[in-house]
Structure 1
Amino acid sequence: MGPRALTVHIISHNHWDREWIFTSKYTNRWLRPFFDNLFRMLRRHPAYRFVLDGQTLMVEDYLAQLTEGEAKAREEEIKGYVREGRLLVGPYYLQPDWTLPSGEALVRNLLLGHRLAERLGGVMKVGWLLDNFGQIAQAPQIHRGFGIRGVFLWRGVGMDPDELRSEFWWEAPDGSRVLAIYLLNTYRNAMALAQIREIAPERVISQAKLLGGFASTPNVLLMNGYEQDPGPDDVLPIIEEVNRAVGPQPYKCRQSTPVEYLEAIESFKPKLPTLRGYLYSGRYMPVLTGVFSSRVPLKQRNAECQRELERWAEPFAALAWAVGASPTYPQTKLERAWKVLLLNHPHDDICGCHIDDISRDMLERFALARKLAGEVTEESLSSLARLIDTSKGRQRRPRTQTQTQTQAQAGKA
């Protein structure tokens, strides 16, 4: 029996580190040429699909640089591509570290990401954990809470080499699980194919052969993208060339989306290993756990802001609104505070693995988030205090005999 035929799925994407070796003030300037190139690609190839790194902040940062008229026109164009399933946005607001932010912050990230993605035409219902430094045990549970049944991840997997697979079930402590696609050969194993066109077919087939040995089904995944790419890779002509070059060999190449790849795996109903709990193994790829204690003041400011929002500002704002002490709930101010705080949660930010200028920017954002949350706390407590009726004063208790004798003795003295 000959080798089984493999379907080679190529997912085009761009991993966007908003801050790392450059500040966001610098990297955001790259968004205009990137989106210009992306729009040209989507217009030229009606079948082209692209993943915006699982986040919506890229779109928000891009539109913020345009004039009002330009922003409206480009947003409408983005909505069209999203509705057609050609441009995939969300499910997150941004790409966070999953260890240092609180559970509530991770949920808010997904809530905000879903809201913005729905406004743009639809949410990519797939977890996109490409480069965060290890995985918390509750990640499957959090994703399932948002109706997400599958995730793509890279760092932290530690399966035995003899049992290593590119797909597995990932189970949280509460028993909920997701189908996990392990990017065991990185999220850039098919990057820049069009830049070295003459060897592109050979690269694709070579990677397919390598990954086929770890696949649980006749499907393998190639990731066509890198970090801060100036534009999408012109990969569709290369896919056609690969299919022509393969001939009788057992390979079929296509451009896919994350949802389509999950469906392709699920359709075979493979028997997969189950990994439970947190994933922090550096067996196949460094997890860089040293970042969890680097630039400690940033971690401290983050904890203070989360505590102010989660335990003071929001609970007392809700109470003040519920009992009628405040006529309106301060939704706008609280959402702004959360968004400012979340801007410090990308893995290269809160983990402290960045240049000093970014730390200074982060401290300013922490200060603003704390100020906004503190204002909500103070306003809510003040409104609650005004409901307390102090008009009757404090009733006097009758004096005891000892108190009367003591006062009489003091008068004689």
Structure 2
Amino acid sequence: MTQTVSQENKSPSNAPRIAFVVSHTHWDREWYLTYHQFRAKLIHVVGQALDLLERQTEFRHFLLDGQSIVLEDYLEIHPEGAARVKRQVEQGGLSVGPWYVLADEFLVSGESTLRNLQLGHKIAAAYGGVQKVGYMPDSFGHIAQLPQILTGVGIDSFIYTRGNGDEIESLGHEYRWRAPDGSEVLAVNQCGGYCNAGGLGHGEEWEVHTQRSIDLQLARERIRALFVEMGKLSRGDIYLLSNGCDHCPPQRGFDSILAELRREFPTTLFKHASLTEYISAVRRAGCAALEYSGELVRGRHHFILSGVWSSRMYLKQWNDRAQALLSDYVEPIAAYTHFCLGREYPRGLIEHSWRLLLQNHPHDSICGCSTDAVHRQMVPRFTGVVDTGEQVLRDVLVYLTPTFARSQKDDMHTSICVLNPLPVSRSEVVERLLVLKPVGVDTTRLCLFDEWGGRVPLEIVDISYMDRFWGFDYRTELSGESQRRLLETNLDHFGNRIHKNDHASECRDRLLLIRFIARDLPPVGHRQYLLREDEAREADQRRGKGGGTAAGRVMVSGDTLENEYYRVNVHNNGTFDVFDKATQKTFRGLNRLEDTEDIGDEYDYSPCVHSETITSDESVGELRTVDEGFYGRIECEFNLSLPKSIGPDRSSRLADSAACGVRARVGLGTGSRVIEVELLFNNAAKDHRLRVEFPTGVMTDTVVSDGHYYVNHRPIEQPVGSDWRQPPAGTYPQQDFTLVQDGWGGLAILNRGLPEIQAKRSDSGEVTLSLTLLRAVGWLSRDDFATRRCSGAGPHLPTPGAQCLREHRFEYAVLPFVGDYLAADVKGIVRRYRTPVLSIQGVEDQHVPGRSGLLQQTTARTCISAIKRHDERDTLLVRLYNLTSETVEETLVFGRAIAAAWLTDLLEEREGELPVRSQDELVIALGAHAIKCVEVEFA
């Protein structure tokens, strides 16, 4: 035997004292293959891991990627393996959780992130125990409040790869990461990523999927080089070797490799262990000396892949709709009818919907950076969530206002139920399409009354007669907008069945499009309105669309909309100007479309060498008034001519053009502080990015964006990052809004499901906000563009579906405000814009009268993110957070007497009892940016 021990067996000077080898697989549930294809591989990976663990060799532990859904996917195929899995989890051989899925943090809501942890804990605990390590190996950046979220569920550590900028050079790989409220976790940045010791003994990591023989020399060289790199930034002598990679089975020849490494590095203790053991050792050694606060959204050593914030925007819109439906509508409304009206809480349907939604949140799924087949399979999950949630709401509303009376003659007595899901009282314009019998009602004498008999100003906007269609009922649609779309579809296809005169047969229904203002709606509660004939109908209750100048209505004249707050002038290129009556300030040129080529991929945007920008400045469209009265809307329709695609050499755009139809609808309601925009865009072009611009006139260095239980304050000027793996792209992620402000006030841009925005300063210093609407690309990944250092981020697969060649509907709004955004209650106004009231038509017979509501918050300095029944107990759970950097007291007022109340952790387990201020009030003290959970038992 010729092996020597002189040079080879001397450890390098930077060899660690302890090297923790953690065997794992990183399981992208769907990516370049579909979920079903990957699961066929998963069952073999899990089976091999269980076999190895049961042999009791040197292979002592396997990490199932920190996500409990892997267990569900495996056991659905092999339910007989449940006992094996549970035994290994209980014995410490298999680590599962704490997450349900490894989600992208920026593209989902804070509530979704927390529900992800809660479900992951629940599943892992059922199989023997939860890995209490905040393991996020491959997420594309991390939110600022993650340390508080983790500590709130009993996790004090965080292991990750992406997100650092230059600060990592001084922090080192181990440091203390602090949330805005002061919560801290021990953070460990994985040197070389989560595959740094994957596929040992192979020249390429992918060879682990083959039967090629193990080369021990390659294993030695790989670890030696890794020790050198780790030594540069490690703040201790304890290293983490991640022995695994994407979809990898357990390392073949593990025992011999571990023995070889121990011979090669005799002064290093190699331990095959879990992340829990590694974190304990790092904490005992005191390696994390320095502290860092703030989100992790940079690309110093690893790609951040910021283009995923706008890839396949339709997925982001679906997700926004589904999340809001569950957390802002279904849960609070179901809680209201359960605790205040005694109706059964639909716990099973709600839990199923959250689980289905979370299955669309893995980073390769929600980011839109997978194959067309993967993303086609996501849409049925979203529709399943939306269909279930909307049916739950429909059932609740029909319970409050039955569709049919007990006696047919009483069907004539029409009732309209309006339901407010927010914990604040509000007044809103309500639009409904009423279905009435064709005879027996004189529409010229119709009046609307509240529950106390007071007349409510009513607009009858339009009257039609329609043949009945079987299979649906306009009355049970949840909003006037959904009714309008359904009617427009029928008009397009069955226009010959619509009549505008009063001569109608018995088989035709009479359709009345009405609007009224529902005033002082109770917080998380409902009101009933009754439609009756009355000879004393007030003068301002009119039929048709004439006028529009009466007090309390939006004035519409030519190209102008005006309410008590703003005057809006709409131009024939789709832009508009807003005159703010409070500040006498005018915002000009808002809603300008800007389009550039995109030669990037699903992960990242990139312009080409000869870049070309096209705007809507020279577009000439047709203006027309669509609505007036309590709600005014002007529409501008035109074509935006865009190059069909980029050229064959990808250096410039083609000369051939495609006409992309644009329809911009600018709306303003009575009493509304937001100017709403609905933009319909028929995308007929490839390889481009479409944005809408808002010149604010504000001069500032900071852009403020809604985040996750937090509002982010970010610098407009980003680091150059000339030596970074991926320099900043200039864009930022957002949740519900982004704004800029100065001493007098500012301008906020609100959105529904549009998570990418950029703040740009002109030469004069004024800021323009650019909201991304669409990014159309044709490849999953490429390696031939500049914004990502000419390196691929995944397989080079064509994805023609990512070109998004279809008609798109984008919703956003403009909000001028005075003073600071907190004092102006921007967050509250945004929530009212994003959470319209619900309404339904029914009958007066057996309808449930309105009442005080379930819950009211009393300060605008906090935000309530969840109102629901506790998952295990028949109690109410309220989650709220402090928007400010100061301690705030929030008084919660309930619609029922309180028997007892508790603070809970973020897993909703009780921590301590709360004093009850009065029979229906609780006072909650929230420290700076704190997240709190309150559990209430009613008397």
Same fold (TM > 0.5): yes
1:217 match: 236
Is 1:281 matched with 2:298?
yes
1:111 match: 118
Aligned equivalents of 1:194 and 1:380: distance in 2?
A: 61
Match of 2:84 among 71, 77, 85: 77
1:35 match: 46
1:23 match: 34
Match of 2:227 among 184, 190, 208: 208
Letter paired with 1:294: S
Letter paired with 2:306: T
1:175 match: 182
| Cα distance change on mapping 1:349 and 1:161 into 2, 3 Å | closer
Deviation at 1:395, TM superposition (A): 7.2
Which segments of 5 or more consecutive residues in structure 1 lack a partner in the other structure?
A: 407-413
Name the stretch that deviates more: 38-47 or 97-106: 38-47
Aligned equivalents of 1:241 and 1:338: distance in 2?
A: 47
Whether the 8 Å contact between 2:112 and 2:358 is mirrored in structure 1 is yes
2:69 match: 57
Give matches, 1:121-136, under 5 Å: 121-136=128-143
Aligned equivalents of 1:184 and 1:268: distance in 2?
A: 19
Whether the 8 Å contact between 1:91 and 1:123 is mirrored in structure 2 is yes
**1:248-307 Cα shifts (integer Å, max 9, x gaps):** xx3221112111111111112235221211111111111010110111111011111111
- Partner SS for 2:198: coil
Aligned equivalents of 2:360 and 2:42: distance in 1?
A: 19
Name the stretch that deviates more: 21-30 or 36-45: 36-45
Match of 2:361 among 345, 352, 362: 345
Whether the 8 Å contact between 2:169 and 2:233 is mirrored in structure 1 is no
Is 1:295 matched with 2:312?
yes
| Cα distance change on mapping 1:3 and 1:102 into 2, 3 Å | closer
Identity %: 35
Deviation at 1:246, TM superposition (A): 2.7
Letter paired with 1:263: S
- Partner SS for 2:97: coil
Deviation at 1:244, TM superposition (A): 2.4
1:139 match: 146
- Partner SS for 1:151: strand
Deviation at 1:6, TM superposition (A): 1.9
1:101 match: 108
Match of 1:378 among 384, 389, 394: 394
| Cα distance change on mapping 1:271 and 1:227 into 2, 3 Å | closer
Give matches, 1:320-331, under 5 Å: 320-326=337-343, 328-331=344-347
- Partner SS for 2:154: coil
Is 1:235 matched with 2:272?
no
Structure 2 length-normalised TM:
0.40
Whether the 8 Å contact between 1:14 and 1:232 is mirrored in structure 2 is no
Letter paired with 1:376: V
1:410 match: none
Give me the CA root mean square deviation.
Answer: 2.6
Deviation at 1:375, TM superposition (A): 1.4
Deviation at 1:359, TM superposition (A): 1.6
| Cα distance change on mapping 1:394 and 1:355 into 2, 3 Å | closer
Whether the 8 Å contact between 1:49 and 1:85 is mirrored in structure 2 is yes
- Partner SS for 2:259: helix
Whether the 8 Å contact between 1:52 and 1:89 is mirrored in structure 2 is yes
Q: Which structure shows the higher strand fraction? A: 2
1:411 match: none
Aligned equivalents of 1:277 and 1:139: distance in 2?
A: 10
Letter paired with 1:94: V
Letter paired with 1:202: E
1:409 match: none
- Partner SS for 2:77: coil
Aligned equivalents of 2:224 and 2:276: distance in 1?
A: 23
Aligned equivalents of 2:173 and 2:16: distance in 1?
A: 17
Letter paired with 1:219: I
Letter paired with 1:60: E
- Partner SS for 2:289: coil
Aligned equivalents of 1:339 and 1:41: distance in 2?
A: 31
Whether the 8 Å contact between 1:6 and 1:212 is mirrored in structure 2 is no
Whether the 8 Å contact between 1:8 and 1:208 is mirrored in structure 2 is no
**1:28-84 Cα shifts (integer Å, max 9, x gaps):** 111221122112211223551011000011110111123xxxx1x311110000001
Structure with max Cα Rg = 2
Whether the 8 Å contact between 1:157 and 1:282 is mirrored in structure 2 is yes
Whether the 8 Å contact between 1:15 and 1:225 is mirrored in structure 2 is yes
1:269 match: 286
Whether the 8 Å contact between 2:49 and 2:249 is mirrored in structure 1 is no
| Cα distance change on mapping 1:59 and 1:184 into 2, 3 Å | same
- Partner SS for 2:248: coil
- Partner SS for 1:190: coil
Letter paired with 2:71: V
Deviation at 1:361, TM superposition (A): 1.0
2:384 match: 368
1:14 match: 25
Deviation at 1:231, TM superposition (A): 3.8
Whether the 8 Å contact between 1:55 and 1:94 is mirrored in structure 2 is yes
Give matches, 1:239-258, under 5 Å: 239-247=258-266, 250-258=267-275
Q: Which structure shows the higher helix fraction? A: 1
Letter paired with 1:296: M
Letter paired with 2:73: D
Deviation at 1:3, TM superposition (A): 6.6
Whether the 8 Å contact between 1:197 and 1:238 is mirrored in structure 2 is no
Whether the 8 Å contact between 1:30 and 1:230 is mirrored in structure 2 is no
Letter paired with 1:302: N
Which segments of 5 or more consecutive residues in structure 2 lack a partner in the other structure?
A: 1-12, 203-213, 403-412, 416-449, 456-535, 540-939
| Cα distance change on mapping 1:272 and 1:372 into 2, 3 Å | same
| Higher relative contact order structure (alpha carbons within 8 Å, sequence separation ≥ 6) | 1
2:328 match: 311
Structure 1 length-normalised TM:
0.88
| Cα distance change on mapping 1:191 and 1:395 into 2, 3 Å | closer
Aligned equivalents of 1:349 and 1:129: distance in 2?
A: 16
Aligned equivalents of 2:281 and 2:399: distance in 1?
A: 56
Whether the 8 Å contact between 2:178 and 2:184 is mirrored in structure 1 is yes
| Cα distance change on mapping 1:305 and 1:360 into 2, 3 Å | same
Whether the 8 Å contact between 1:189 and 1:223 is mirrored in structure 2 is yes
2:562 match: none
Aligned equivalents of 2:360 and 2:130: distance in 1?
A: 23
Whether the 8 Å contact between 1:316 and 1:381 is mirrored in structure 2 is no
1:334 match: 350
Whether the 8 Å contact between 2:57 and 2:255 is mirrored in structure 1 is no
2:94 match: 87
| Cα distance change on mapping 1:110 and 1:160 into 2, 3 Å | closer
Whether the 8 Å contact between 1:12 and 1:225 is mirrored in structure 2 is yes
2:801 match: none
